[in-house]
Amino acid sequence: MSVTEKQNAPATERNRDAILDVLAREFRAVTSVLEIGSGTGQHAVFFAERFPTLRWQTSDRIENHAAINAWVENAGLDNVLPPLVVDVLEVDSVPGDYDGIFSANTAHIMSFAAVIRMFEFVGRVLSAEGLFCLYGPFNLNGEFTSESNAAFDRSLKSQDALMGIRDLEALVDLAGQNGMRELRRYTMPANNMLIVWQKGR
């Protein structure tokens, strides 16, 4: 895929500034970030350009690498790296040391079995006291936070019964099982949230 054929995810353009505001606070002491599910690569390039001292490692399943590489190559930034192969159902570890992990809009398009494996993976890869920032729509106390999220969940399940908006309480439990405690949760535009967990020593 040439740089002139870069894929575009409109949601990324809409949510990136709000996420940037949070990451500017949460990642201010972070030096190296692994992004799980880089998708088109747009988030990676946008954030890496604005955090020039931060090393941003992209990753995704192999079929998404061409799209990510198109954005990375076009950006020409020294601090954003070509993608690693990461399918959370298959990978146990990756090279490198990461005191930050970021993932956006992934938990609801994975099966819950894959979500479990993602938290296990983060628990293994993230350095002690490192931060895991997860962005997307979540349910609270088993309830949708908006009618639009309920409609989105129905749409997801019509495509694949294993997809769906996750209960945040279940994710907090998964984080705890993998050595992470919730630090903060941010309310984001369009009925999304960004949750920050920290790994213990």
Eight-class DSSP state of 4? G
pLDDT of residue 2: 42
Q: How many angstroms from the chain centroid is the CA of residue 179?
A: 18
The per-residue pLDDT for range 178-188, each reduced to its tens digit, is 999 999 999 99
What pTM, to 2 d.p., does this model score?
A: 0.94
Pull the structure tokens for residue 29: 């002491």
What average pLDDT score do residues 146-168 get?
98
- Is the per-residue pLDDT at 4 higher than 50? no
State pLDDT tens for residues 84-137.
Answer: 999 999 999 999 999 999 999 999 999 999 999 999 999 999 999 999 999 999
Cα Rg of the chain (Å, integer)? 16
DSSP character string of 102-168: EEES-TTTS-HHHHHHHHHHHHHHEEEEEEEEEEE-EEBTTB-SSHHHHHHHHHHHHH-TT--PEEH
Domains of the chain: 3-106+113-138+168-199 (3.40.50.150)
- Name the average pLDDT for the chain: 95
Asked if 81 and 72 touch (Cβ cutoff 8 Å), the reply is yes
